[in-house]
Amino acid sequence: MNSRPHVIVNVAMTIDGKLDTIERKGATISSGADKQRVDELRASVDAILVGGKTLLSEDPSLTVKSADLRSRRLAQGLEENPVKVSVVSQADLNLQGDFMTAGPARRLIYTTKRTLPEQVHKLENAGAQVFVRCEESIDLRDVFQSLYDQGIQILMIEGGGTLIAGLFQFGLVDELFAYIAPQIFSGASAPTLADGDGFLNGQAKHLHLESVSKFDNEGGVLVHYTSQSQ
């Protein structure tokens, strides 16, 4: 890869490292103060990427919620919202859902041939740009090159754990923010910060601690790490 965006992963997780309960319905983990921080982070980036399961199960809007922050972006000559991006093997998302309708925002969908041509046309007619890859699974390095070529220099990742594991596997994470809520979800099948196949002993990815802050009055902690190559 020649060039890629600067990549910032942001998650909210429980003390036991879970991004959701075993129900996988998008459990609330962030505090009010954390939601505000996330909105500020969103407002500072060029694009936001989510994995396919997060897209299909949560249908996130990925927009900047604060009118002030959106006005600030416009005053800086930016679009009101960052570009919304997803990597999804079969892009059978709801055309009337929040990802497709909340905005204004550009929408980029990287998918495979498992998405039928008819659905690709529907997504395009609804305003999304769809990139169909021939391979079984989507090469994240290729996606990042494509994003960079389209002018995206700072990319925020909003989960889930399978996507994040893939990013760590290919050394594609520059920064990680994790809000840790004082809750335990438990459950071996509940998604964690980095799922995927797992790294063997000796192949662990190492991070550099930038800061830890006692973040709110709800017992949450914010940790900020950078990758060691930073």
Ligand X SMILES: NC(=O)c1ccc[n+]([C@@H]2O[C@H](COP(=O)([O-])OP(=O)(O)OC[C@H]3O[C@@H](n4cnc5c(N)ncnc54)[C@H](OP(=O)(O)O)[C@@H]3O)[C@@H](O)[C@H]2O)c1
What is the binding site for ligand X (CB under 6 A)?
11-13, 19-20, 24, 26, 29, 50-54, 57-58, 87-90, 137-138, 140, 158-163, 166, 191, 195
**Nearest C-alpha neighbor of 99 from the set 134, 68, 64, 59:** 59
Tokens of 110: 């990287």
Look-up of token digits 């760590």: 168
| CB neighbour list of residue 146: distance below 8 Å, 6 or more residues apart | 110, 131
Least distance between ligand X and beta carbon 42 (Å): 13
Least distance between ligand X and beta carbon 75 (Å): 29
Least distance between ligand X and beta carbon 124 (Å): 19
Nearer to ligand X, 28 or 71 (CB): 28
Helix ranges, 59-125 (H): 67-75, 98-101, 117-125
Cβ atoms 82, 60 nearer than 8 A: no
Least distance between ligand X and beta carbon 18 (Å): 8
Nearer to ligand X, 24 or 113 (CB): 24
Nearer to ligand X, 31 or 89 (CB): 89
Least distance between ligand X and beta carbon 193 (Å): 9
- The residue sitting closest to ligand X, measured at its beta carbon, is 160
Nearer to ligand X, 19 or 43 (CB): 19
**Gap between the Cα atoms of 229 and 57, Å rounded:** 34
Nearer to ligand X, 17 or 72 (CB): 17
Least distance between ligand X and beta carbon 73 (Å): 23
Nearer to ligand X, 78 or 119 (CB): 119
DSSP codes of every residue in 211-224:
EEEE-STTS-EEEE
Contacts 24+ apart (CB under 8 A), 146-150: 146/110, 147/4, 147/5, 147/47, 147/85, 147/108, 148/3, 148/4, 148/5, 150/83, 150/108
Nearer to ligand X, 20 or 216 (CB): 20
Torsion of CA 93, 137, 177, 53, to 10 degrees: 30
**Gap between the Cα atoms of 137 and 133, Å rounded:** 8
Least distance between ligand X and beta carbon 76 (Å): 27
